[in-house]
Every structure is written in C-alpha cells, then in structure tokens.
A and B are shown apart, each in its own frame.
Chain A
Amino acid sequence: MITLVFILPLAFGLISFVLKRKFVNRAALLGSAAIFVAVTLLVWLRIEWTWLPNWLLVFFRFDSIGLFFFAVMAIVFAGVSFYSLSYFREHNLTARQESVYILEMLAFVVAMAGVILATNLALLWVFVEATTLTSALLIYFEKKKSSLEATWKYIYICSVGIALAFVGITTLSIGSESIGSLFFNDLYLHASEINPVWLKLSFAFLFVGLGTKVGVAPIHAWLPDAHSEAPSPVSALLSGTLLNSAFLGILRVEEILVRADQQTFSNIILLLTGFLSLLVSAVYMLRVKNYKRMLAYSSVENMGIMFIGVGLGQPGLFAAMLQTMAHSFSKTSLFLTSGNILHRYGTKKIEDVRGLLKRDPVTGWIWIVSFLSIIGIPPFPIFISKFFIIRAFWTNGEGWLALLFFLFIVVVTFGMGNAVFRMAFVDSDTESTGSVKLALSAYLPQIVLLAVLVVVGINMPNLINEMLSNAAAFISSGPAAAVKVAGK
C-alpha cells in the first residue's frame, strides 16, 4: 500500500516529464490522484498488502490520525489535479510546461505523504523539509517578479524554521538518552522517562520549526506571499494539505508531552499562538487589498482555531479534527475559485473585481457559498467545530476566552464578508466583456467539495464520524489513559 503511495506517483511524474505528451501528462496527474484516493479507501476498509522490505516498512505506517490526514490530502489533491486541467487550458501551457508542473506537484504530494506516514520524528523532519523544497519550484511556476520574491521568502524562512526544528529533535535525544530511539512509538511508551526540562525545550524548538510551516502567527510571514503568488491550484494544495501535514507533526509531538504529563506547557503555547493568529488575521482582514492574500490570512485564522482546539485538550480535539477537514475542503474550493476570478479579471485586487455574479454566475455562487462555509454558517461543519470549541472553553471553565474567540471570529467574518460580497454583488461601472464559459473542470471540484461538506454538516455519516473520533482519540487524555490503552 505504502509502496503505491510513494513509488507510483513519482514514476508517473518522471514518465510524463520524459515523454512530454499532453495525454500522458493528464493521465499521470489524474492517475496519481486516483491512487491516493484508492489507497485511502483500501486502508479505511482495512485491506493491507505491501511489497516493501521489512527494514523500510518500520519507517512508514498508517495509524488512525495518519489515515484521517491522508484521506483529507487525497481528496484535496484529487480536486486540485482535476482543476489543473482547466488551469493548463486557460493558460495555454505547452506540454513541456505541463510535465514540469506535474513532476513538481507529484513530488510535493509524495513528500507530504511522507510527513503523514513517517513513524520516526527525524524522518518526519526530513519530509517536512522536502515539502518546502519541492513546493518552492511550484510557487515560482509562473516566473513573475513578485513570485520570485514570494518564493525566496518562503524557502528561506521555512528552511531556517525547519533547521530550528532539528535543534528540537537533538534536544529531545539529549533528554531521552535512555530510550535511544526517535520512533514515535518508543517515545510514547517511555514518555515518562524523558527529562521534562529537555522535553519542554525540544517542544519549543519543534513548535517554532513546524509552526513556521503551519503558518501560525507570529511565524506566518511567508504564508500570504506564497499563497498569493503561487498558481491557484498550488495555493489550494498549500493551504489545504501542506499546512495540515505540518500540523500533524505538531500533534504527534504534542502526544509525547501529554504522555509525559507536561501538556499544560504545550497547551499554553498552542492557545497563545492560536489566539495570536486570530488577532493577526482579524487585523489584516480589515485592510487587505488582494483577495488571494485575504484567503491566506483566513488560513492563518483557521490554523489558529485548530491550535486552540488542540490546546483546549480533550474537549476540543474532535472540533480540531472537524475543523481540519472542513477548512481544507472550503479553502481548496475558495482558492480554486479565486483562480477562475483571476483568469476572468486578470487582477488580484479586490476593488477591481466587481459584478462577479453577472459576469460568471457559477463562479460567483461558488465563491459566496465557499465563503459561507469557511466562516461557519450552518449547515456547514465549521459551524459545528467552532460551536464545539466555544463549548470546550466552558467545559474548561474559561468562558471569558470564548468571548474573545467569538470577537475575533466576528471581525474576521466582517472583513472577509465585506470583500466577498462587494466582489460578487456590486455592479461594475464598465460593461462586462462577454462571459466565456470556463471548462467543467474549473467548477466541478469546488461543487463536489462543498457538497461533501453540506452532507457532513447536516447529517454526518457514521463512517466519517468514526474516522474523526479515531483521529481525535490519537491524543490521549493523559499518562494514565495512555497506559490503559497500551495495556489493552
């Protein structure tokens, strides 16, 4: 199973890179997406087989939370690869450009799969750095002056951040010398033997490193630049999957602290950065002039909400997982739609986009509905996750923080809604220059993702509920509970 995930997409990418035929390109991209979805389903149905030698197999594994993040990634990637067909068409890419794009994208996705499936902390680090390196070229794909600036900031800030995460890994090995291994399972089982001072220190470093990739404030500087300058399908992939995979890294480290009974320390950091992210996005949302940057700040906000959910401990975990899924799907839909808008209007400025509903009703409605989804209007599941988080504040006896949380969300909603509705409803002064229909692939992925969210929001299927609960149960409620689970 794991062989399929790693080897086939890379092989497909190389084949399309060598052959440079449009037909092969598309087959490679869609085929890889199909493989990812198929693997998710097979693992979900507990069908296992493997061709990997044993010594390699210990490094990769599907566990409950890995399966969940992998499923989200597979679905987002499928949507993005389908949308890419319309991107290729609208931008008149040559077969050669297409094949470069596909090779880079497949390498990027494989690196993210590595982050999700890695069973060793240091290996996870290797793959996180690999995601930076593979995605840098994608961000620079359109080869504009501004995208060069964005790419440089992205690759440099993230590389320095990830370098600091390695310091965290080293300090963890100093503190856990008696364990002598960086496999997560060993660390979880012997968490109580780790020297608490070194454990906290290493969490701080790992948090800074992985948090840089998550794009949580105050280390989010690269995020708006990279998200706004990348081609829209790539922005969707960055926001919908890359941030998640780094977030998963933090969750895996958090579990070590929980089992060592040090979660008060990590939860404070998570809550603090979570609220700071909300503050930053609330402030920038009111002044941002570029709609792709606006979506990027919304990602900062949503990652902040997920951090808060995890920082609240047991009561907030389910909400954090639901938020992860719902944010990925809605944000992918928003970024893909922003690609349509960019193509129609040729500008990223909010004030230059007017009368979207008249000029392209389908894009306009998807834009509005995705917005309703991301801010959490019922029946969309973000409503449920935000509601659960507010409830978790009360369960923890921190009701006043819930008020603060609510306040920030209202500001973000106001700022974003202001821009979205102006773009959609206010009529433009100039006559619309005819409305050419975009290809079906420019609409279909968003519609499917939003439909899934509506279903999940109205009546969550049992299978999805189970998957979310299993993922949330990955973080145990404390050392005692962890021992119970291990002994079972």
Chain B
Amino acid sequence: MTSILIILLGTTMLYVSSVSRIEAYVKTLAAQGFLLFLLVMVGVKEMSGLNIAFLVFETLIVKAIVIPYFLLKVIRKNETPREIEPYISQFYALLVATAIFVFGFVAAFWAARTGSDIKPLYFGISIAMMMLSLFLIVNRKRIITHILCYMMLENGIFLLSLSVANELPMLVNIGVLLDLFVAIYLFAIFFNKINEIYDGSHVDVLTELKD
C-alpha cells in the first residue's frame, strides 16, 4: 500500500513536468497533499497520538486544501494567462524528468548500502521530487509556477522526513508548519505586488538590479 502511494506521488511529478496549464499544477498540488495524508494514515501505527493529529492537520487541511485553494484564488484574481512558459520544451523536460528519477533510484540504492536503515523507495522518490521541483523552478518563466514548484519541493522534503523514524518535538513541528504557511502567504503578497507594478509576472522583468 505504501509503495503504491509513493509511486503515485512520483507520477504526479512526471505529470506536472508534462502539462502546460497552471491550474493543473494547483490540482496536482492538492493531489500530492492528499496522497501524503494517505501515506501518514498508512503508517499511523508507529506514531504517537498528538503527532498523528498534527500530521493529519498538516497534510489534509493545510497541504491538500488551504494552500491550493489560496493559490488558486491568487491565480484567478490576477488573471494570469493559463499557459506556463518553459525555457525548454515539454518533450525534453520529460526526458530530464526521467533522468532525474533514474538518478533518484541510483542514489537510493547507494544510500541503502551505507548500512543505514532507510527505505529505498521513500528515499529515491523524495530525492527525485526535490530535484525535479528545482528543475521545474529553473525551467519556468512565470513567478506563480515558482511558488507552486516551491510547494512541491516542500512536499518532497516532507516525504523524506516521513521516512525517518525520529519524531521532532511538537514545538518544532508547529514552527515548521507556521514558517511554511507564512512563506506561502508572503509569496502571494509579493506576487500580487509584482503583478501590479510590473506589466507581467515573468521572472524576466526582474532584471533591474545587477552589476
């Protein structure tokens, strides 16, 4: 069951590297949040009560509903054209994505040999998710896609931290979530501002400061 969920998470990343509509990104983000929620539910036996409640809140409420809904509102308000604009075409992007997945698995099998008790599938997919998010950030021109891909990066990191048996203290967990939330909120504020002040919301407009 866990394996299927993790593979589905990996598939969502392949999906976003091949689609071109921004709203598909937001829906994928919501789907990822929901998959992470299911993943937490599957591994529920190994955790303490408070931690479970917190993780459910984080994945189901924040990652699957609040943040995607909030970003969708921001997108609709700014009437961003629906197409995302990549620097290199979808086909090659998909090739790169595949290569990243291969790398992720190689890294996972290498890591498994170091003698640590890690789960190669967790590790491989989360590494691939993080690297792919970084690749998508570099490959997209629109600022809104940068925000969406940042969230995917966070999801990848969350997946990796799920594979670790150690629980963080609750104070730290709350802090991490609060930071994420405020970060997305500020991203949206500044995204709105950039849209207002500059004519577009491409990263290309942000080239005034340089030496």
Q: Do A and B bind each other?
A: yes
* A361 within 8 Å of B (CB atoms): no
Q: Which residues of A contact B176 (CB under 8 A)?
A: 122, 125-126, 166
Docked pose: A268 CA to B183 CA in angstroms: 33
Query: Is A177 touching B166 in the complex (CB atoms < 8 A)?
Result: yes
Known: A159-B183, A174-B164. A225 touches B194 (CB 8 A): no
Distance (Å) between the CB of A163 and the closest chain B CB? 6
Query: Is B161 touching A170 in the complex (CB atoms < 8 A)?
Result: yes
* A288 within 8 Å of B (CB atoms): yes
Query: Is A152 touching B194 in the complex (CB atoms < 8 A)?
Result: yes
Query: Is A224 touching B146 in the complex (CB atoms < 8 A)?
Result: no
Query: Is B172 touching A163 in the complex (CB atoms < 8 A)?
Result: no
Q: Which residues of A contact B198 (CB under 8 A)?
A: 145
Q: Which residues of A contact B175 (CB under 8 A)?
A: 123, 126-127, 130
* B83 within 8 Å of A (CB atoms): no
* B49 within 8 Å of A (CB atoms): no
Contact residues of B between 147 and 162, Cβ < 8 Å to A: 150, 153-154, 157, 160-161
Q: Which residues of B contact A129 (CB under 8 A)?
A: 179, 183
**What does the 1/0 interface line of B163-199 toward A look like (CB < 8 Å)?**
1111011011001101100110011001001100110
Closest to A167 in B: B157
* A25 within 8 Å of B (CB atoms): no
* B211 within 8 Å of A (CB atoms): yes
Query: Is A150 touching B209 in the complex (CB atoms < 8 A)?
Result: yes
Query: Is B153 touching A160 in the complex (CB atoms < 8 A)?
Result: yes
* B206 within 8 Å of A (CB atoms): yes
Query: Is B209 touching A175 in the complex (CB atoms < 8 A)?
Result: no
Query: Is B208 touching A146 in the complex (CB atoms < 8 A)?
Result: yes
Choose among A156, A198, A224 the residue with the greatest number of B CB atoms under 10 Å from its CB.
A156
Task: Specify the main secondary structure of chain B where it touches its partner.
Answer: helix
Closest to A151 in B: B190
Query: Is A120 touching B190 in the complex (CB atoms < 8 A)?
Result: no
Closest to A152 in B: B190
Q: Which residues of A contact B137 (CB under 8 A)?
A: 160
Distance (Å) between the CB of A158 and the closest chain B CB? 10
Query: Is A126 touching B179 in the complex (CB atoms < 8 A)?
Result: yes
**What does the 1/0 interface line of A172-183 toward B look like (CB < 8 Å)?**
011101001110
Distance (Å) between the CB of A389 and the closest chain B CB? 27
Query: Is B172 touching A145 in the complex (CB atoms < 8 A)?
Result: no
Docked pose: A56 CA to B193 CA in angstroms: 38
Q: Choose one: A126, A152, A173, A197; the contact of B164 (CB below 8 Å).
A: A173
Query: Is B211 touching A197 in the complex (CB atoms < 8 A)?
Result: no
Contact residues of A between 173 and 216, Cβ < 8 Å to B: 173-175, 177, 180-182, 195, 197-198
* A90 within 8 Å of B (CB atoms): no
Closest to B167 in A: A180
Contact residues of A between 295 and 349, Cβ < 8 Å to B: none
Distance (Å) between the CB of B1 and the closest chain A CB? 23
* B48 within 8 Å of A (CB atoms): no
Q: Choose one: B114, B143, B157, B194; the contact of A197 (CB below 8 Å).
A: B114
Q: Which residues of B contact A152 (CB under 8 A)?
A: 143, 190, 194, 206
Q: Choose one: A133, A167, A181; the contact of B130 (CB below 8 Å).
A: A167
Task: Specify the main secondary structure of chain A where it touches its partner.
Answer: helix
* A420 within 8 Å of B (CB atoms): no
Interface size class of B (residues with CB under 8 A): 35 or more
Query: Is A130 touching B116 in the complex (CB atoms < 8 A)?
Result: no
Q: Which residues of A contact B206 (CB under 8 A)?
A: 149, 152-153
Query: Is A156 touching B146 in the complex (CB atoms < 8 A)?
Result: yes
Docked pose: A286 CA to B110 CA in angstroms: 45
Q: Which residues of A contact B114 (CB under 8 A)?
A: 195, 197-198
Q: Which residues of B contact A156 (CB under 8 A)?
A: 146, 150, 187
Query: Is A167 touching B190 in the complex (CB atoms < 8 A)?
Result: no
Query: Is A284 touching B211 in the complex (CB atoms < 8 A)?
Result: yes
Q: How many chain-A residues does the 8 Å CB contact rule pick out?
A: 51
* A255 within 8 Å of B (CB atoms): no
Q: Which residues of B contact A120 (CB under 8 A)?
A: 169, 172
Distance (Å) between the CB of A224 and the closest chain B CB? 7
Docked pose: A56 CA to B175 CA in angstroms: 13
Contact residues of B between 65 and 89, Cβ < 8 Å to A: none
Q: Choose one: B143, B172, B197; the contact of A126 (CB below 8 Å).
A: B172
* A293 within 8 Å of B (CB atoms): yes
Q: Which residues of A contact B186 (CB under 8 A)?
A: 133, 136-137, 155
* A59 within 8 Å of B (CB atoms): yes
Q: Which residues of A contact B190 (CB under 8 A)?
A: 136, 140, 148, 151-152, 155
Docked pose: A166 CA to B179 CA in angstroms: 12
Closest to A226 in B: B209
Known: A160-B137, A160-B153, A170-B161. A224 touches B211 (CB 8 A): yes
**What does the 1/0 interface line of A99-143 toward B look like (CB < 8 Å)?**
000000000000000000000101101110110110011001000
Query: Is A166 touching B209 in the complex (CB atoms < 8 A)?
Result: no
Query: Is A163 touching B116 in the complex (CB atoms < 8 A)?
Result: no
Docked pose: A67 CA to B146 CA in angstroms: 39
Query: Is B166 touching A155 in the complex (CB atoms < 8 A)?
Result: no
* B118 within 8 Å of A (CB atoms): yes
Distance (Å) between the CB of A236 and the closest chain B CB? 19
Contact residues of B between 36 and 62, Cβ < 8 Å to A: none
Query: Is A123 touching B209 in the complex (CB atoms < 8 A)?
Result: no
Q: Which residues of B contact A175 (CB under 8 A)?
A: 116
Distance (Å) between the CB of A105 and the closest chain B CB? 16
Known: A122-B172, A170-B157, A198-B116. A228 touches B150 (CB 8 A): no
Docked pose: A182 CA to B164 CA in angstroms: 13
Query: Is B208 touching A163 in the complex (CB atoms < 8 A)?
Result: no
Query: Is B193 touching A195 in the complex (CB atoms < 8 A)?
Result: no
A-B contact pairs, 16 of them (CB 8 A): A126-B178, A130-B179, A136-B186, A137-B186, A148-B194, A148-B197, A149-B206, A149-B208, A152-B194, A159-B183, A170-B164, A173-B164, A173-B166, A225-B209, A289-B211, A290-B211
Q: A145-B208, A170-B157, A225-B209 are in contact. List 5 more A-B contacts (CB 8 A).
A: A56-B171, A140-B190, A170-B161, A174-B116, A195-B116
